[in-house]
Amino acid sequence: MDDAAFIDLSEWLTQAGLAGTSETDILCGFCDRCVAAGLPLGRAQAHIDTLHPVHEGRLVRWGHALNEPALSEYGRTNSAALAASGFDPRDVEIAQRWHGSAHYRMLQTGDSLLRRRLNAATEKEFSMLPVWREAGMTDYVAIITRFAAAGVIGEMDGVYTAWGTRAPDGFTDGHIAVLQLMAPGLALAIKSVALARMTKTLMETYLGRDAGQRVLGGRIVRGIAEKIDAVVWFSDLRGFTRITDTATEHVIPLLNDYSDAIF
């Protein structure tokens, strides 16, 4: 990738983040432009955690198989959250896959870059490598772009990306250097979009859809009120006191979630 292509791609990422382009379109646009500039990408994915009542984060893919969605929302991956959800089989599978991933290993070691040539000797080291090798990838690179402490929100502590190529000799050192150089710009664009979506989710979760949209629309000026028609509905679960006295501590949050959901 020459200097002109690098500048053009950096400018495009900036504009995509400012415009609120979706994560899938950001990753696809980025990869398509990298390929056009001579970077031999065959597959890529990026994920970022969020603050959401149900989902822990989002995973976006490029160059994926037809049976893989371009966008997936994943559930909780820590043991306490899995227990609270009743160990849903799908969440357990996702958690196991995460704990066997290259990115999880990197969190333990503190590394920001991990590379593996894909062959019979390496493909079983991490959970997703067999899938990528089966798809024809010969080389795999994982990158973590970490946020500074002040930029961390909940579990949203960075953007996790993975890159693969079908080139017989894999990535060159120059290719990997370009990916490392471009990763922060890609992460910033994805974070910008994720923060906007997260803000909307939090507003609608804790204020309600209508009130949340009003706040996001700018109706938060002190001293200005608006008269609306509304219905106030109070409800409770029958026998809730007895249930809380006898149920295990992991069941109570689920009951509270159900109580909120009936509205």
Task: Domains for the chain: give ranges and CATH numbers.
Answer: 3-205 (3.30.450.40), 231-263 (no CATH)
- So what's the pLDDT on residue 262? 32
The answer to whether 160 and 46 have CB atoms below 8 angstroms apart is yes
Question: Does the global pTM surpass 0.85?
Answer: no
pLDDT in tens, 121-171: 998 999 999 999 999 999 999 999 999 999 998 888 999 999 999 999 999
pLDDT band at 257 (very low <50, low <70, confident <90, very high): very low
Six-digit token pair at 88? 């849903």
d(Cα 263, Cα 259) in Å, to the nearest integer? Answer: 8
The answer to whether 15 and 120 have CB atoms below 8 angstroms apart is no
pLDDT in tens, 201-229: 888 888 888 888 888 788 777 777 777 78
Q: What percent of the chain has pLDDT over 70?
A: 90
